[in-house]
């Protein structure tokens, strides 16, 4: 059984996709230990409660400085006893001490085809605004392992999504979620649960079933 702790900041639709795939039996041998949100009162925490998954808030506003928040986040992740940390729309830079405590054991979903539209300032709707401004014809989503830099760790899964002429950032965000994110994130967790992922430098290898 792979125990995962899912970190969220807002709507939690990616969290919901994981919950749904566990409940319908597609995602086997996976248990959500806990959901951690950096924001209070978000929909993601309601989704956790509805699925009887423990949810906690670790908010920067409850700590005197960033270092104290970082330490609290690490302590909560360790307390949850998880094997894998899943960043599912967690809009917080992961501090180095967390990366070092969970080497090769943190994955993130990003709403673009890395290395496009990623790094500092590229999160949530902004990613889709920039993709439309730049006029790319294809975007998508990426699941990658987290290292000490932003959106730079080994890529595990990617899926492309076509951009349409009449897309708005909101319409595109929704389609990237529906066509890519909600499929990729549970699939990535499933591959890790089955022991089928090897990290080789900056690359990953997916082993046959």
Taking the complex as a whole, the smallest distance from the CB of residue 67 to ligand GAR amounts, in Å, to 22
What residues line the site for ligand GAR (CB under 6 A)? 8, 10-14, 44, 88-89, 109-111, 123-124, 127, 177, 181
Q: Which two tokens stand for residue 71?
A: 């330490």
Tell me if residue 110 is catalytic.
yes
Taking the complex as a whole, the smallest distance from the CB of residue 120 to ligand GAR amounts, in Å, to 10
DSSP 115: T
- Contact (CB, 8 A) for 140 and 112: yes
- Of residues 134 and 198, the one with the C-beta less far from ligand GAR: 134
Taking the complex as a whole, the smallest distance from the CB of residue 93 to ligand GAR amounts, in Å, to 10
User: CA-CA distance, 164 to 17, in Å (whole number)?
Assistant: 25
- Of residues 10 and 60, the one with the C-beta less far from ligand GAR: 10
User: CA-CA distance, 209 to 195, in Å (whole number)?
Assistant: 9
Return the beta strands (E) in the chain as ranges. 2-8, 30-37, 55-57, 84-87, 106-110, 138-145, 155-162, 197-200, 203-206
Give the number of other Cβ atoms within 10 Å of residue 75's Cβ.
12
Taking the complex as a whole, the smallest distance from the CB of residue 61 to ligand GAR amounts, in Å, to 19
Name the residue whose CB lies closest to ligand GAR: 89
Q: Which of 110, 128, 130, 144 is catalytic?
A: 110
- Of residues 70 and 173, the one with the C-beta less far from ligand GAR: 173
- Of residues 83 and 129, the one with the C-beta less far from ligand GAR: 129
User: CA-CA distance, 163 to 185, in Å (whole number)?
Assistant: 21
Q: Would you name the residues annotated as active-site residues? A: 110
């Amino acid at each position: 059984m792979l125990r995962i702790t899912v970190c969220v900041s807002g709507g939690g639709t990616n969290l919901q996709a994981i919950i749904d795939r566990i409940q319908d039996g597609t995602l086997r041998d996976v248990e959500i230990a806990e959901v951690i949100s950096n924001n209070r009162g978000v929909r993601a925490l309601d989704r956790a409660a509805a699925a009887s998954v423990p949810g906690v808030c670790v908010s920067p506003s409850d700590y005197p400085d960033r270092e104290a928040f970082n330490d609290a986040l690490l302590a909560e992740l360790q307390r949850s006893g998880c094997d894998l940390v899943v960043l599912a729309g967690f809009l917080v830079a992961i501090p180095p001490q967390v990366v070092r405590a969970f080497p090769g054991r943190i994955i993130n979903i990003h709403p673009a085809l890395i290395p496009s539209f990623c790094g500092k300032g590229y999160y949530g709707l902004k990613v889709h605004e920039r993709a439309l401004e730049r006029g790319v014809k294809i975007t998508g989503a990426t699941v990658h392992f987290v290292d000490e830099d932003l959106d730079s760790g080994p890529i595990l899964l990617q899926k492309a999504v076509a951009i349409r002429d009449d897309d708005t950032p909101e319409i595109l965000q929704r389609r990237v979620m529906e066509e890519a994110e909600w499929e990729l994130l549970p699939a990535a967790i499933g591959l890790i649960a089955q022991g089928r992922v090897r990290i080789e430098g900056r690359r990953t290898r997916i082993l046959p079933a």
